[in-house]
């Protein structure tokens, strides 16, 4: 049986769109796997991007360069944090879990989170310390989204 006429055009269009979507999804997944295995996961950039928006362009540029310089240390710290969270979940899932073991695992997550935060804040401190006072005066103070609806 052969499909002819409008049905053939509609079917061909659906197949082309389906192929394009599949290629897009496969490409996206492959890029994520590649980035993860080469230490370029989106986590750091995503966390840092909303923070960067508050700074003038010149300082943002310097902050990006500084973050690129500490990328190996930050990636290791993020990996340690991920492992600590994974270990904490394993403790939670253990049928013989004790409050002491859970508390220890939570403290380990806290320590790793502090390490990530310290690396980032030290990078910001170094850049802002060297920035021109005129540029520092342009750093914005934005209200958090959850407070924007409130009145002062």
pTM (two decimals): 0.59
**Closest alpha carbon to 53 in 139, 125, 150:** 139
**DSSP string computed for 47-79:** HHHHHHTTS-HHHHHHHHHHHHHTHHHHHHHHH
Query: How many residues belong to the chain?
Result: 152
Q: Which pLDDT score, from 0 to 100, does residue 152 have? A: 43
Q: Which pLDDT score, from 0 to 100, does residue 150 have? A: 54
Q: How far apart are CA 59 and CA 65, in angstroms?
A: 10
Residue 129's Cβ-count burial label (10 Å; 0-12, 13-18, 19+) is exposed
Q: Which pLDDT score, from 0 to 100, does residue 1 have? A: 58
Q: Name residues of the chain where pLDDT drops below 70.
A: 1, 35-48, 141-152
Tokens of 6: 């409008």
């Amino acid at each position: 049986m052969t499909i002819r006429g409008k049905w053939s055009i509609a079917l061909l269009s659906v197949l082309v769109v389906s192929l394009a979507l599949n290629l897009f999804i496969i490409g996206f997944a492959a890029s994520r796997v590649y980035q993860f295995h080469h230490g370029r996961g989106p986590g750091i950039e995503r966390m840092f991007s909303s923070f960067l928006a508050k700074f003038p362009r010149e300082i943002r540029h310097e902050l990006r360069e500084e973050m690129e310089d500490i990328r190996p240390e930050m990636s290791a710290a993020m990996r340690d944090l991920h492992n600590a969270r994974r270990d904490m979940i394993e403790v939670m899932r253990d049928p013989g879990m004790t409050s002491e073991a859970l508390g220890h695992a939570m403290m380990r997550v806290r320590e790793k989170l502090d390490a990530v935060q310290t690396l980032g804040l030290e990078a910001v401190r170094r850049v802002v310390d060297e920035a021109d006072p005129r540029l520092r005066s342009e750093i914005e103070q934005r209200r958090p989204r959850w407070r924007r609806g409130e009145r002062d």
